[in-house]
Homo-oligomer: A and B are copies of this chain.
């Protein structure tokens, strides 16, 4: 047995999260390092969904909006996600896609600023959809977009700043406390996109006074394909949250069916239309795997796991080596990355390819083992020859 194999074995033996892996449906022939794209299926979800479909929809039908708690699911599930991102109860609501929530949050952030603040700063390497929606938000509020590199100064013309907490391509983790403080010092509001950090590492929304945040639930939160996104609104900003998508679900009296819009109190104000209950309840069920797991333990394992993987591979890493700057993925620069990833997948190591030259491997500490990391590195070595 090689030194690396012995090390992997020892790390797995000492891993307090190792038993959590059993809660997921995994294939012994596959190393799944794409949980940052679509999280694996928690084993108990199919049975719960059968109950939702046959009993709650099939038998109770319309009564389930009240009796099965469908109506309040967006805020109830928000409260389940809140502790994972360091937020208080009543500050997170689930629904719609991340894209739609970026639009809501950014427009609301811009509307807090005076008209002289005509610039919207957007993370220069943002996940594309955030940029497209920011362009639309700027256009519809008569602002202009300025590319922003986290750490750059923020000026008096800034209305709002949109930043990805972890860069989807490189895995670089931005300094949320420092950027938030800098934006606040300039008198602006910040919207954090937590798609690649929620469920992977502590975010500390409340501790760092973040204004708004959005995030994805089908990556590290394993909610299922296209499960609804979440929106965070800081408690003191909820009363002035002025959504560009004021649907009947965010009305103070949704069943009053009044012609005038009167927004509900609280983060419920971030809701819009009827929530997609099946996707939403699959997410709620998937969150059960977090019972007794702390996000700090997840982060600790993630760093050791990605350290170990970096030790096992020889390609150049785009993902920072410094822990404070690393998300829960490793992106390696590689010639013919597209073809290499295809071959890796054919050999049972599933990551993804990001053009032009990036092999991206996501490490979900809840179900990825050190043995997995070693096997992935070995197969990669074989493919590269």
Contact = CB atoms under 8 A, between A and B. Distances in A.
A259 B355 contact: no
Contacts of A239: none
A34 B49 contact: no
A5 B46 CA distance: 44
Given A100-B272, A129-B247, A244-B136, A58 B34 contact: no
Contacts of A336: none
A317 B292 CA distance: 57
Contact of A97 (B41, B65, B169, B273): B273
Contacts of A64: 225
Query: Which of A58, A257, A282 counts the most chain B CB atoms within 10 A?
Result: A58
Q: Bin chain A's interface residue count.
A: 35 or more
Contacts of A225: 56-57, 64-65, 70, 274, 276-278
Nearest to A222: B57
Contacts of A153: none
A251 interface: yes
Contacts of A13: none
Interface string A61-77: 11011000010000000
B99 A273 contact: yes
B245 A136 contact: yes
Contacts of A59: 25, 27
B99 A245 contact: yes
Interface string A207-233: 000000000001000001111110000
Given A225-B277, A259-B128, A247 B99 contact: yes
Interface string A284-312: 00000000000000000000000000000
A37 B53 contact: no
Interface in A233-262: 243-249, 251, 255-259, 261
Given A132-B251, A136-B244, A257-B355, A228 B54 contact: no
Interface in A74-100: 96-100
Interface string A121-135: 000001111011101
5 contacts: A99-B245, A126-B259, A128-B258, A129-B273, A169-B257
Interface of A: 25, 27, 32, 34, 37-38, 40-41, 45-46, 49-50, 53-54, 56-59, 61-62, 64-65, 70, 96-100, 103, 126-129, 131-133, 135-136, 140-141, 169, 218, 224-229, 243-249, 251, 255-259, 261, 272-280, 282, 350, 352, 354-355
